Amino acid sequence: MLKFLSLPVISPYVGVGYYSEDKGVALSGGVQVKASDRLFFGAGYNSVRGVNGQLGIRF
Q: What is the pTM of this model?
A: 0.81
Q: How far, CA to CA in Å, does 28 sit from each of 18, 20, 35, 38, 59?
A: 11, 16, 22, 23, 23
pLDDT at 58: 87
pLDDT at 39: 95
Tens of pLDDT along 17-53? Answer: 998 877 789 999 999 999 998 999 999 999 999 999 9
Q: How far, CA to CA in Å, does 26 sit from each of 20, 29, 51, 55?
A: 11, 10, 13, 22
Q: pLDDT band at 13, cuts 50/70/90?
A: very high
The closest alpha carbon to 47, from 13, 21, 24, belongs to 24
Q: pLDDT band at 15, cuts 50/70/90?
A: very high
pLDDT at 20: 84
* Domain chopping of the chain, boundaries: 2-57
Task: Answer whether 48's CB lies under 8 Å from 19's CB.
Answer: yes
